[in-house]
Chain A
Amino acid sequence: MYVLIDISHPSPGRAHDTANKAAAIMRDILAAEPGGAGNFRIGFLSFGADLRQFHESRPSGPIPLIPEAVEHTRLGRLLEIPNQILRKMRHPAFPLHRHAPLLFIVGEGQIDDIERFERALDQVWEREAGKIVGSYPHVGQGDLVRHISQSMDPVADLNKARYAREFPVDPPIEKAEGQAPPDDHPGWPFALGDKDRKPAALPNAVAGVPYQFRFHPGFRQEFDIAGERPPGLEFDSGTGVLSGIPQGDGKHEITFRWHDPKAVFGSRVREESATLTINPDPKSLWVSKSPDPDAPFQKKNAEAFRVEGPDMIIAAASVRGRSHAHAGTFRDDDSRIFTEGPWSVAVVADGAGSAEFSRRGSEVAVNTFAEHAGPLLREKLDGPLDGIEPGNSERRPDGKIRTGIYGSLVMSAFEAARAVEHEAKKHGKRSGEFSTTLVAAAARKTSVGWFTAGFSIGDGGAAVLGPGGGEAVTLTKADSGTHAGETRFLTTGEFKDTNAVMDRIHHAFTPNPAAVVVMTDGVTDPKFPTDSDFLNPESWVKFWNADLGREVVLHPGNHGIHEQLLAWLDFWSKGNHDDRTVAIMLPRK
């Protein structure tokens, strides 16, 4: 903090008086510093013909003596001194770097070295001085000092500085969902009150989320809010804590009033304002609208199914995301679950939100897939799987199995891609308007436990879980790009490169699986935020037991399992409001 004091003619007496008062106030300010005053420095600099920095000290140092008045007002030259120090202060290693330095200029009359002053002032701005307060009521060069907020009462400004300094440096208590402001929050610390600037803004609140902000009452007596309190908040004048559960939303101006026993001039009752913005609860802003009943390709907002196979039960649920509900658009996801001989199969698809008719694309994709996959699985895979002899895993015909998956799951997906493109052509549209992803998994019993296979294009995913949800083996490849929102879609072009397609085939043998889970990205994004999470068996254990297992009775005998899945899909996850589809297969014990 620097105080620049003009001791030139014609203001010798006043400057002398002001400077001495300023020095006393500065000492008070530092005495009230919460973290101890050790890190703070105040420089008192005088400017006149005989330029001197007559005092720079740590707060414990002596009060400066104010010298006699001099002839000229060489403010420009003087301003270069704090400038050099400000440059140092912006260095990250300097302990003051979190504070914008405060700079006060107290004086009156003409400035003699205007050009130099202008240059220096420009540099001060560049160095991000937190506040420059000047007092130049009689200055002729109005143009020159308009960037300094003018004040007739330099001492009042210094009092303001004291107030400003006493905001705590530590951020307010962390709010829910990690919404605490970043360390370098804008407007921190606060410079209050001068009329060219806005009132200080307190860190924002969120309706319904506990809020707490601590002021240091410091020297203030009878420190309280003068007018209305923001709804839901209380102020404890003893501790200086503003806290409570804010309500409503909007911007509130709070007037603080206190008694200042050390006020130098005028009234000892002081007032300052600060603003507090209360954000609405984000959840309260979402609305649900029905889609246009006359639009083509109608689709239900939610659906759930349960299918019983010989060895497994399969359940699926699919629900329109909050984004679509808010906009009154259709669900783009779709799903099919079915059994065929020993096989249980689940396929889910996520129509691209950016594609106008993707709801139809996903529907065509899952239906076409379902049409082909059953017979192909039997034809291509039953042979190799039935031939497996128990005991020696080395002798499993992995090559034949992978070829069989290619001939069944991949070929069905290819047929689905063709059907989507054909559907677009039929309606005279580009196939991009029907874009969809596809995630499929199939399972059956073998002599060495359960066999599961997966194939996908685009994100979402599938996995087979071992007992208790442990030992998860993922059955799909992550298709996310470098930036968010990039994925791949089911097109016939994706099948041209056989090696790339083979990379998308995964299978596993699991002696005693708990389940096979198949999901669109509306579920995988919030539940497995990163590729690492998706591949990490521990995330799956948590998902299975602490999340899904809490709301859904994961037992093949549960006849309401699909309805429970549907209810579970309504979970809240910030920023994740896509359509959600999940299918699970549970072996009968």
Chain B
Amino acid sequence: MRRLPIYILLDTSKSMEGEPIESVKVGLETLTTTLRSDPHALETAHISIITFGSRARQVVPLTDILSFQPPDIRAWGSTPMGGALSLVADRIRDEVRKSTPDQKADWKPLVFLMTDGIPTDHLDSGVAELRKVKTGMVVACAAGPNADKDLLMRITENVVSLDTLDNASISAFFKWISASISATSQKVDLGKQDNKGDDGATLEDLPPPPPEINLH
């Protein structure tokens, strides 16, 4: 079975405390509920959650939608974004299956990152680690006024932003992630890409984002 791995990297630093972190929790609940009723995602998508607050941790390993349970998360500590990128690179290397004579490869993983601040550790070493692994698409979201969009451009060219850190914006972002997972699950089920070239997926391959999300 070819899996579509999805890695969701969430900033859980102290500045996310209160409404933002509560909105993230609700967002994860909604995402789970939505994907449970999508037959493509249910059979194909596998989700992992990595949080970075004080330390980067994989709070949910790559798990299919049927077994997935939204994790309990808290806002605490600093913003080790570089560490989160190194960790996701490590997890992709470990969890995403490559094609061998005895196993079919997984689809290339999608990575979504959301942050409300700037990294408190060395971002570039994390970026370098992430470049070493093959990803289908990396989307970074600068949430609220204190996030630095230009800095996120160093991670990926697919950067979106939220003007505010309120419930409406954050839930819009999670709905969009959910729609993107559905659309990609369907797409991978329907067809294949030519393996000669780099497919170079961009935001245009995802569903159009709602008005709360700005494209860059």
Q: Which of B2, B69, B76, B186 has the most CB of A within 10 A?
A: B69
Pairwise interchain contact A198-B39, C-beta atoms closer than 8 A: no
**A352 contacts across to B, CB distance below 8 A:** 191-194
A50 interface residue, CB < 8 Å from B?
A: no
B212 interface residue, CB < 8 Å from A?
A: no
Pairwise interchain contact A484-B99, C-beta atoms closer than 8 A: yes
A545 interface residue, CB < 8 Å from B?
A: no
Say whether, besides A323-B186, A487-B195, A184 and B104 are in contact (CB < 8 Å): no
**A186 contacts across to B, CB distance below 8 A:** 59-61, 63, 69, 71
Pairwise interchain contact B43-A184, C-beta atoms closer than 8 A: no
Pairwise interchain contact B71-A575, C-beta atoms closer than 8 A: no
Q: Which residue of A lies closest to B59 (CB)?
A: A186
Pairwise interchain contact B187-A282, C-beta atoms closer than 8 A: no
Some 25 contacts from A to B, beta carbons below 8 A apart, are A122-B76, A126-B77, A147-B76, A185-B63, A186-B60, A186-B71, A286-B39, A322-B39, A352-B194, A353-B187, A353-B192, A481-B195, A482-B195, A483-B105, A483-B106, A485-B193, A486-B195, A487-B193, A530-B100, A531-B101, A535-B101, A574-B1, A575-B2, A575-B43, A576-B1
* Complex alpha-carbon distance, A184 and B66, angstroms: 15
Q: In the complex, which of the residues A282, A521, A577 contacts B189, with contact meaning CB atoms closer than 8 Å?
A: A577
Pairwise interchain contact B99-A482, C-beta atoms closer than 8 A: yes
Q: In the complex, which of the residues B98, B101, B193 contacts A354, with contact meaning CB atoms closer than 8 Å?
A: B193
A125 interface residue, CB < 8 Å from B?
A: yes
* Complex alpha-carbon distance, A1 and B71, angstroms: 22
* Complex alpha-carbon distance, A487 and B42, angstroms: 24
The contact size tier of chain B is 35 or more
* Complex alpha-carbon distance, A401 and B36, angstroms: 54
Pairwise interchain contact B189-A486, C-beta atoms closer than 8 A: no
Interface residues of A in 157-212 (CB under 8 A from B): 179, 181-182, 184-187, 197-198, 201, 203-204, 206
Pairwise interchain contact B107-A483, C-beta atoms closer than 8 A: yes
Pairwise interchain contact B36-A280, C-beta atoms closer than 8 A: yes
Say whether, besides A184-B61, A285-B38, A481-B195, A204 and B66 are in contact (CB < 8 Å): yes
* Complex alpha-carbon distance, A326 and B189, angstroms: 11
Determine how close the nearest CB of chain B comes to the CB of A386; give it in whole angstroms. Answer: 38
Interface residues in A, total, Cβ within 8 A:
64
Q: In the complex, which of the residues B39, B66, B100, B193 contacts A206, with contact meaning CB atoms closer than 8 Å?
A: B66
Determine how close the nearest CB of chain B comes to the CB of A279; give it in whole angstroms. Answer: 5
Pairwise interchain contact A282-B99, C-beta atoms closer than 8 A: no
The 8 closest A-B pairs by CB, nearest first: A353-B191, A353-B190, A486-B195, A481-B195, A285-B39, A484-B2, A354-B191, A323-B189
Beyond A323-B186, A487-B195, 17 additional pairs, beta carbon < 8 A = A122-B77, A186-B59, A186-B63, A249-B37, A327-B186, A459-B192, A482-B99, A483-B106, A484-B106, A485-B107, A485-B188, A486-B192, A574-B1, A574-B43, A575-B1, A575-B3, A575-B189
**B193 contacts across to A, CB distance below 8 A:** 352, 354, 485-487
**A489 contacts across to B, CB distance below 8 A:** 194
Pairwise interchain contact A481-B105, C-beta atoms closer than 8 A: yes
**A483 contacts across to B, CB distance below 8 A:** 98-99, 105-108, 134
Pairwise interchain contact A530-B67, C-beta atoms closer than 8 A: no
Pairwise interchain contact A125-B54, C-beta atoms closer than 8 A: yes
Q: In the complex, which of the residues B39, B42, B57, B105 contacts A484, with contact meaning CB atoms closer than 8 Å?
A: B105
**B3 contacts across to A, CB distance below 8 A:** 575
Say whether, besides A327-B186, A485-B2, A187 and B66 are in contact (CB < 8 Å): no
* Complex alpha-carbon distance, A277 and B76, angstroms: 29
A542 interface residue, CB < 8 Å from B?
A: no
**A529 contacts across to B, CB distance below 8 A:** 1, 103-104
Q: Which residue of A lies closest to B60 (CB)?
A: A186
* Complex alpha-carbon distance, A277 and B61, angstroms: 19
Q: Which residue of B lies closest to A534 (CB)?
A: B101
Pairwise interchain contact A530-B102, C-beta atoms closer than 8 A: yes
Pairwise interchain contact B101-A530, C-beta atoms closer than 8 A: yes
Interface residues of B in 180-216 (CB under 8 A from A): 186-196
B44 interface residue, CB < 8 Å from A?
A: yes
Pairwise interchain contact A181-B67, C-beta atoms closer than 8 A: yes
Determine how close the nearest CB of chain A comes to the CB of B193; give it in whole angstroms. Answer: 6
A299 interface residue, CB < 8 Å from B?
A: no
Pairwise interchain contact A488-B69, C-beta atoms closer than 8 A: no
* Complex alpha-carbon distance, A263 and B134, angstroms: 56
B74 interface residue, CB < 8 Å from A?
A: yes
When each residue 24-45 of chain B gets 1 if its CB lies under 8 Å from chain A and 0 otherwise, what string results? 0000000001001111101110
* Complex alpha-carbon distance, A58 and B43, angstroms: 46
When each residue 435-465 of chain A gets 1 if its CB lies under 8 Å from chain B and 0 otherwise, what string results? 1000000000000000000000001000000
B72 interface residue, CB < 8 Å from A?
A: yes
Q: In the complex, which of the residues A184, A185, A532 contacts B101, with contact meaning CB atoms closer than 8 Å?
A: A532
Determine how close the nearest CB of chain A comes to the CB of B28; give it in whole angstroms. Answer: 11
Pairwise interchain contact A326-B104, C-beta atoms closer than 8 A: no
* Complex alpha-carbon distance, A574 and B189, angstroms: 11
B64 interface residue, CB < 8 Å from A?
A: yes
